Amino acid sequence: MATDIAHIKQMMRAVTGDEKHDGSSHSTLDVLWVLYDRIMHYDPKNPKSEDRDRFVLSKGHGPLAFYTILAGKGFFSPALLPTWGRWDSILGMHPDRNQVPGVEASTGSLGHGFPMAVGMAIALGIKQSPRRVFVLIGDGECNEGTIWETALLAGNQHLPHLTCIVINNHSSSPDLGDIAAKFAAFGWAATTINGRSHQQIYEALSQTDTTRPTAVIAEIL
């Protein structure tokens, strides 16, 4: 069981052979670590328990950090990590919910994971479940029309248990400007944080609005 992020980084280096692993994963690492280490409610021995929070990696083209944290938290053996990307491995270049314990949605095509997470939040609301839904998207992904259609729907549905994390490593072209203001215009409670500060990440992800979904824009500079 991984006890700190240094352990997670060591596990990733064992897979990639160097410190500079896949950039798409590196940008998500701190947020995912805080989310799984200090925020989310889950049971790695019973990953389909109804009494669990849900996480969707809509930024599915960079799953290495996600896989490593799932392994570090006991969803599957860390011994599988070196098989990442092999044709016979469950750890594909995009996460597969039918293959990898702890993966809620098969993602990779940009803009698809966010609407699935909103569907989960609506379903949990109908069930009157207190469980939360987290979804992580990238700034480049925000060029997809489905992102803003989904943001508008979620804002109108008033989903207080839904949190969208936007990893803004400024890879989008053209520049998206103030992403938090855009989410706020669609009816979200939105804030911008330093995406490397574990304290800021923890504080932002700990908070929920009583009537609106929450957007956390994690700046990666």
Mean pLDDT of the chain: 94
pLDDT band at 117 (very low <50, low <70, confident <90, very high): very high
Picking from 72, 62, 82, the residue whose alpha carbon sits closest to that of residue 36 is 72
Checking if the pLDDT of 141 tops 80, the result is yes
pTM for this one?
0.95
- Given a cut of 80, is residue 220 above it in pLDDT? yes
160-186, pLDDT tens digit by residue? 999 999 999 988 778 899 999 999 999
CA distances in angstroms from 78 to 35, 74, 83, 110, listed in the order given: 19, 8, 10, 27
Sign of the CA dihedral with 140 first, then 148, 96, and 168 last? positive
pLDDT more than 90, % of the chain = 86
The SS3 call for residue 158 is: coil
How would residue 3 be classed by pLDDT, with cut points 50, 70 and 90? confident
What is the structure's pLDDT at 40?
A: 98
Task: Give ∠ CA 93-96-98 in degrees, rounded to 5.
Answer: 150
Query: Which pLDDT does position 62 carry in this prediction?
Result: 86
Q: Does residue 144 sit in helix, strand or coil?
A: coil
Structure tokens at 34: 């805080």
The Cα 145–Cα 101 span in angstroms is 30
Residue 2 — very low, low, confident or very high, per pLDDT cuts 50/70/90? confident
Q: What is the CATH number of domain 5-219?
A: 3.40.50.970
Q: How do residues 44-89 score in pLDDT, each as one tens digit?
A: 999 999 999 999 999 999 899 999 999 999 999 999 999 999 999 9
- DSSP letter for each residue of 65-114: HHHHHHHHTTSS-GGGGGGTT-TT-S--SS--TTTSTT--S---STTSHH
Return the structure tokens found at 68: 């490593």
Domain boundaries, the chain: 5-219
